[in-house]
Amino acid sequence: MPEPRFFAHRPPRLTKAEMLRRGREFYEQMNERRSVRHFAPDPVPRELIELAIVTASTAPSAAHRQPWCFVAVSEPATKRAIRLAAEAEERKFYEGGSTPAEWLEALAPLGMNWKKTYLEIAPWLVAVFAEEHAVAADGHPLPNYHVEESVGIACGFFVAAIHQMGLVTLPHTPRPMYFLSEILGRPPHQKPYVLFPVGYAAPEAQVPNLERKTLAQVSLWDPVHPAAK
Ligand SMILES: Cc1cc2nc3c(=O)[nH]c(=O)nc-3n(C[C@H](O)[C@H](O)[C@H](O)COP(=O)(O)O)c2cc1C
């Protein structure tokens, strides 16, 4: 068992005013983020995608396993194969008759359908795979823990990084997504988790007019005993 090694990590305390300023600024930036489904074909430098991936990889993960693999694709033939396979699944979802009516109703205001032309137009597709287990240097499997939660948090960091750079994305989750494993040649312990098209918003891009829940709708404060004043 290796000995734990520690080093000091004591971020300097800020004034309340500075904390509020930073917190508000970050909230305002994040509140500007939207899922965009209309991309410009303009190329995006690979370095920006690399930055978003290393930012995602700073996310906390259970037992620090970092159970994720980000597979970035810019090459047109692979993007086309992904689009066609995604559309085949999406078509079954929207028109196959087995999707619950409630689910389709929830999607209707978003104006979504089975066509995913943006998967070919966006300059990058970043497929995220969740690693059910790690592989030790000698090839034997090492268990991972809380994989879904860890990968979900990393994806949140990825989305925030893309937004911060002035690019746009959306989490795309056709079900099932095993075509991604096949097309991208991933091993069985890597499960497809989400697909992020990334690029610049098209000049004509529009997003549905959504309202976000208020603080009161998404939070409770000391619900058992009131806090001491
Ligand atoms: C886990 C997850 C899966 C999603 N899957 C899809 C999808 O398959 N297709 C799509 O167009 N949007 C998808 N979205 C985007 C949501 O529709 C979008 O986040 C939501 O409508 C709120 O809009 P906003 O991101 O602009 O705030 C997904 C979002 C999440 C978090």
pLDDT at 124: 99
CA distances from 153 to 35, 80, 107, 149, 213 (A): 17, 29, 24, 6, 20
C-alpha 52 – ligand 1 centre gap (Å): 19
Residue of the CA atom closest to atom 10 of ligand 1: 172
pLDDT for residue 229 is more than 80: no
- Sign of the Cα torsion 24, 31, 197, 156 reads positive
The residue whose CB lies within 8 Å of the most ligand 1 atoms, and thus the one to mutate among 173, 175, 193, is: 173
Atom of ligand 1 nearest to the CA of 36: 26
User: What are 71-78's contacts with CB under 8 Å, separation 24+?
Assistant: 71/126, 71/127, 71/128, 71/129, 71/184, 71/186, 72/46, 72/124, 72/125, 72/126, 73/124, 73/125, 73/126, 73/127, 73/184, 74/43, 74/46, 74/123, 74/124, 74/125, 76/120, 78/125, 78/183, 78/184
Atom of ligand 1 nearest to the CA of 170: 15
C-alpha 212 – ligand 1 centre gap (Å): 13
Which amino acid, one-letter code, is at 60? Answer: P
Q: What is the pLDDT of residues 132-180, one digit of tens each?
A: 999 889 989 999 999 999 999 999 999 999 999 999 999 999 889 999 9
Hunting for tokens 């997003």 — which residue is that? Answer: 207
Dig out the tokens for 173 from the structure: 């989750």
DSSP state for residue 203 in the 8-state scheme: T
Provide the pLDDT confidence category of residue 184 given band limits of 50, 70 and 90. very high
C-alpha 171 – ligand 1 centre gap (Å): 5
Give, to the nearest 10 degrees, the angle between helix 46-56 and helix 147-164.
Answer: 140
Average pLDDT (117-132) is 98
C-alpha 170 – ligand 1 centre gap (Å): 6
Q: Is the peptide bond before 176 cis (omega within 30 degrees of 0)?
A: yes
Q: What are the E-state strand segments in 97-208?
A: 124-131, 133-135, 141-143, 168-169, 190-199
- Count Cα neighbours of 157 within 13 Å in the Cβ-side half-sphere: 20
Atom of ligand 1 nearest to the CA of 212: 27
Ligand 1 binding pocket, CB closer than 6 Å: 34-35, 37, 110, 112, 170-173, 207, 210
C-alpha 62 – ligand 1 centre gap (Å): 25
- What's the CA gap between 36 and 203, in Å, rounded? 12
Exposed/middle/buried for residue 93 (C-beta within 10 Å: 0-12, 13-18, 19+): middle
Which amino acid, one-letter code, is at 27? Answer: Y
Q: What is the pLDDT of residues 190-227, one digit of tens each?
A: 999 999 999 999 999 999 999 999 999 999 999 999 88
- What's the CA gap between 154 and 53, in Å, rounded? 9
User: pTM for the complete prediction?
Assistant: 0.95
- What's the CA gap between 70 and 54, in Å, rounded? 10
